[in-house]
């Protein structure tokens, strides 16, 4: 049971931290938050095939085995989230360097935000 | 086994790298290949739709692995119809991009356009939920590139919002898939349909969560209130042809909801009871209201069109959330109409912008080519607001008729009729300020008059309008087609048995089948 508790709380803590950071107004914390969320979901996907220790991930003569499919799903998800994070970092950098402002919300609201930030 | 069903994915997937590698610096060659590719897609899609028209379900097993072990691509009436709609829309959008020169204002427009088509068409054709996620990501990553095509600070900023919102959506999608897999041990839609039905109604926490999460993900794609916040800025700031192509992207969400929630979680299923009527229907009605109020409140033409997209998606979702055969067929008819009308309006907004400094709804000197542009706007606005005689009116009648038998008939009728009135006022105000009041404003002395948009731009917009007219004139045959389609959605047994019983590698179920 210890393994389940460890994995479940890891997913929970990662998700909580990710959601908190995602709700910030600046691109950098938001991107970090989304990265944490993707880590959480990767572990979650991995756990969706049930946790078992010391079992082979392929079908052999052994009666106990680890479901290999979630591992393939996680690999796909990792590659995709890696690529997506790279894209969003580039676009966010472009937006920041162009406008000298890295707020995430709508441009119309930015005037008020800047006033608040300076205050 | 015929291989044509995979062609709508393969063709753009090969064409896009070819355009990047071989025609990188030659916009002319890029244009030729891109248009030829889309024309080819239309031919293939028409062939597939014709093949599926008699109710045949075509299954293609990638690598010849039998479902549910391998990934399958499935062509039935619904998916081939959406593929055909997408290809036809893509042709006119592409013609406009070429005619207006948008494709030359940044690099790699045509390659990204083809990748975008690959993602959309793949999402329509796949029969596997994880594969649907992958195609969502393909269409999203291409759309990120298209969204910030030709750059600019405002556009980049809107692009950041768009990308971040969709990344969160993708993460939610993965959570939903993980929960679904943990509960059922499969992600093939046909297999899911069989296994979800076997779940004990007393032990449903996991599957309920998965169903609700999945609905959230598709609702984000379909821009359903309160998950619509990404849409107005991104669609308004995206280049016009890109925004016009995005008109089909919200429909991908609607398609996914129709597909998954008629087959995997059908309305009569105890496990997910209440999801449609308690949650989806009110959200759809609020979307419709908020969208049309946004049309009235918008201060810029591009935002006005973006809010009309939210409103029309609300209309589609109202029809879907009835989850009756009549409701779904009305939704399918309206999806075709709403895609064409929204695309035409985004392109017309760009025609207006070609002659003005901005799209603010204030009187400015008439744009060049104002007579033709305003006529097109008039027709497209009639279609979008659902006034007679165009297809918006027919679609709305169908939805009202389908809603009559619902428990929430009063709400459906009240919200649809009131929001229609509001949107008519909004569009009428925008049109009169942009085109009529303009006559009363003198152009500044010595002001440079922008040249009129090119003929090809008008051909593209005119083509979309002509399709809308055809959609109205042939409303009878089209409705009969979607009616049979919707009936087949509510009797998915041929689909499920075709997918699961087509022989392939590993098709003999042995003890190695998942044991969850």
CB contact under 8 A, A47 and B178: yes
C-alpha distance from residue B245 to each of B98, B182, B310 (Å):
14, 36, 15
Q: Which sequence spans correspond to the domains of chain B?
A: 4-501
User: Count of alpha carbons within 13 Å of B411, Cβ hemisphere only?
Assistant: 17
Please tell me the distance in Å from A49's CA to the nearest CA on chain B. Answer: 6
Residue closest to B127 by CA, chosen among B497, B481, B485, B483 = B497
pLDDT in tens, B237-264: 899 999 999 999 999 999 999 999 999 9
Q: Which residues of A touch B148 (CB under 8 A)?
A: 91, 94
Q: Which residues of B touch A59 (CB under 8 A)?
A: 512
Distance of CA B262 to the CA centre of its chain: 18
Euclidean distance between CA atoms B62 and B65, whole angstroms: 6
CB contact under 8 A, A41 and B167: no
Rg for chain A (alpha carbons), in Å? Answer: 20
DSSP state of B75: E
pLDDT at B408: 85
Please tell me the distance in Å from B163's CA to the nearest CA on chain A. Answer: 6
Q: What confidence tier does B507 reach under pLDDT thresholds 50, 70, 90?
A: low
Euclidean distance between CA atoms A70 and B80, whole angstroms: 30
Across B354-379, average pLDDT: 84
Share of chain B above pLDDT 70, in %: 97
Q: Average model confidence (pLDDT) for chain A?
A: 84
CB contact under 8 A, B153 and A104: no
**Residue B510 above 60 pLDDT?**
no
Q: Tell which wins on pLDDT, B71 or B507.
A: B71
Across B278-307, average pLDDT: 92
**Residue A35 above 80 pLDDT?**
yes
pLDDT at A56: 76
Q: What confidence tier does A57 reach under pLDDT thresholds 50, 70, 90?
A: confident
pLDDT at B135: 95
pLDDT in tens, B422-481: 999 999 999 998 888 887 887 776 667 777 788 899 999 999 999 999 999 999 999 999
**Residue B140 above 60 pLDDT?**
yes
**Residue B197 above 60 pLDDT?**
yes
Highest mean pLDDT among A49-53, B35-39, B103-107, B350-354: B35-39
How many domains is chain A built from?
1
Q: Average model confidence (pLDDT) for chain B?
A: 90
Q: What confidence tier does A116 reach under pLDDT thresholds 50, 70, 90?
A: very low
- Cross-strand pairs, B128: B188
Residues of B with CB under 8 A from a CB of A: 130, 134, 137, 140-141, 144, 148, 151-154, 156-161, 163-164, 167-168, 170-171, 174-175, 177-179, 181-182, 185, 233, 512, 514, 516
Q: Which residues contact B153 (CB under 8 A, 6 or more apart)?
A: A95, A98, A99
pLDDT at B483: 93
pLDDT at B329: 94
Euclidean distance between CA atoms A43 and A37, whole angstroms: 10
Which of A22, A67, A98 shows the shortest C-beta gap to B153?
A98
**Residue B381 above 70 pLDDT?**
yes
Q: Tell which wins on pLDDT, B199 or A60.
A: B199
Find the domain containing A58 and state its range: 2-118
- Cross-strand pairs, B170: none
Instruction: Calculate the CA dihedral of residues B265, B268, B273, B278 and round it to 10 degrees.
Output: 100
* Segment (H or E) for A78: helix A69-99
User: Count of alpha carbons within 13 Å of B256, Cβ hemisphere only?
Assistant: 30
pLDDT at B439: 78
pLDDT at B508: 59
pLDDT in tens, B104-113: 888 889 999 9
Euclidean distance between CA atoms B199 and B3, whole angstroms: 36
User: Count of alpha carbons within 13 Å of B382, Cβ hemisphere only?
Assistant: 15
pTM of the model: 0.92
Q: Are B185 and B129 in contact (CB under 8 A)?
A: no
Residue B277's CB is within 10 A of a number of other CB atoms, namely 16
Q: Are B68 and B513 in contact (CB under 8 A)?
A: no
CB contact under 8 A, B160 and A104: yes
pLDDT at A53: 79
Please tell me the distance in Å from B134's CA to the nearest CA on chain A. Answer: 8
End-to-end CA separation in angstroms for chain A: 51
* Segment (H or E) for B58: strand B58-61
Q: Tell which wins on pLDDT, A110 or B75.
A: B75
Across B146-163, average pLDDT: 88
Across B287-312, average pLDDT: 93
Q: Which residues of B touch A31 (CB under 8 A)?
A: 164
Euclidean distance between CA atoms B258 and B264, whole angstroms: 10
Across B59-71, average pLDDT: 86
Phi (first) and psi of residue B56, to 5 degrees: -65, 135
Q: What confidence tier does B515 reach under pLDDT thresholds 50, 70, 90?
A: very low
Which of B141, B153, B154 shows the shortest C-beta gap to A83?
B141
**Residue B281 above 50 pLDDT?**
yes
Across B372-385, average pLDDT: 92
CATH code: domain of residue A19: 1.10.287
Q: Which residues of B touch A49 (CB under 8 A)?
A: 181-182
**Residue A107 above 70 pLDDT?**
no
pLDDT at B65: 86
pLDDT at A115: 44
Which of A48, A77, A83 shows the shortest C-beta gap to B181?
A48
Best mutation site among A77, A79, A86, A103 for testing chain B: the one with the most B CBs within 10 Å? A77
CB contact under 8 A, A99 and B153: yes
Euclidean distance between CA atoms A73 and B482, whole angstroms: 35
Share of chain A above pLDDT 90, in %: 50
pLDDT at B319: 94
Residue closest to B257 by CA, chosen among B296, B217, B229, B288 = B217
């Amino acid at each position: 049971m210890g393994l389940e508790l460890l994995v479940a709380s890891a997913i929970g803590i990662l998700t909580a931290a990710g959601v908190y950071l995602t709700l910030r107004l600046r691109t950098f914390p938001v991107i970090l938050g989304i990265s944490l969320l993707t880590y959480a979901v990767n572990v979650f996907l991995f756990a969706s095939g049930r946790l078992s220790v010391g079992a082979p991930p392929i079908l052999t003569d052994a009666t106990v085995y680890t479901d290999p499919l979630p591992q393939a799903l996680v690999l796909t998800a990792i590659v995709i989230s890696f690529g997506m994070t790279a894209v969003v970092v580039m676009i966010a950098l472009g937006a920041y360097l162009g406008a000298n402002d890295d707020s995430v919300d709508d441009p119309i609201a930015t005037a008020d935000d800047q006033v608040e930030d300076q205050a | 086994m015929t291989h044509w069903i995979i062609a709508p994915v393969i063709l753009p997937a090969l064409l896009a790298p070819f355009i990047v590698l071989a025609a990188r610096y030659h916009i002319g060659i890029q244009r030729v290949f891109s248009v030829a590719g889309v024309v080819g897609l239309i031919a293939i899609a028409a062939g597939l739709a014709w093949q599926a028209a008699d109710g045949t379900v075509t299954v293609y097993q990638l690598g010849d692995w039998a479902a549910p072990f391998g990934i399958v691509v499935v062509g039935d009436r619904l998916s081939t119809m959406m593929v055909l709609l997408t290809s036809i829309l893509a042709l006119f959008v592409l013609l406009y991009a070429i005619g207006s020169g948008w494709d030359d204002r940044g690099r790699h427009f045509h390659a990204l356009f083809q990748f975008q088509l690959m993602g959309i068409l793949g999402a329509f054709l796949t029969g596997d939920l994880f594969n649907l996620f992958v195609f969502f990501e393909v269409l999203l990553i291409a759309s990120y590139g298209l969204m910030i095509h030709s750059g600019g600070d405002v556009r980049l900023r809107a692009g950041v919002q768009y990308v971040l919102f969709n990344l969160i959506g993708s993460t939610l999608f993965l959570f939903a898939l993980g929960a679904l897999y943990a509960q059922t041990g499969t992600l093939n839609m046909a297999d899911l349909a069989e296994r979800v039905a076997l779940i004990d109604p007393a032990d449903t926490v996991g599957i309920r969560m998965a169903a609700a999460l999945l609905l959230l993900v598709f609702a984000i794609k379909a821009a359903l209130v309160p998950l619509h916040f990404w849409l107005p800025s991104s669609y308004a700031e995206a280049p016009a042809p890109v925004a016009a192509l995005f008109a089909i992207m919200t429909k991908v969400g609607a398609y996914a909801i129709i597909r998954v929630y008629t087959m995997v979680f059908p309305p009569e299923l105890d496990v997910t009871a209440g999801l449609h009527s308690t949650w989806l229907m009110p959200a759809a009605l609020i979307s419709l209201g908020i969208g049309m109020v946004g049309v009235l409140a918008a201060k810029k033409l591009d935002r006005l069109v973006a809010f009309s997209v939210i409103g029309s998606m609300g209309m589609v979702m109202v029809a879907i959330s009835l989850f009756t055969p009549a409701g779904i067929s009305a939704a399918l008819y309206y999806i075709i109409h709403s895609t064409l009308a929204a695309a035409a309006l985004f392109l017309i907004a760009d025609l207006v912008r070609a002659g003005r400094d901005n799209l603010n709804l204030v009187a400015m000197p008439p744009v060049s080519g104002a007579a033709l542009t305003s006529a097109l706007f008039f027709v497209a606005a009639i279609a979008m607001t659902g006034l007679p005689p165009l297809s918006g009116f027919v679609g709305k009648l169908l939805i009202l008729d389908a809603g009559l038998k619902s428990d929430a008939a009063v709400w459906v009728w009240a919200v649809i009729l009131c929001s229609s009135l509001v949107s008519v006022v909004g569009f009428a105000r925008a049109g009169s300020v942009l085109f009529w009041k303009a006559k009363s404003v003198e152009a500044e002395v010595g002001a440079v008059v922008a040249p009129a948009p090119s003929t090809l731009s008008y051909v593209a917009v005119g083509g979309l309008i002509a399709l809308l007219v055809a959609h109205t004139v042939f409303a009878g045959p089209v409705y009969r087609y979607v009616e049979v389609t919707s009936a087949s959605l509510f009797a998915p047994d041929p689909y499920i048995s075709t997918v699961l019983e087509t022989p392939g590698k590993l098709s003999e179920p042995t003890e190695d089948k998942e044991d969850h």
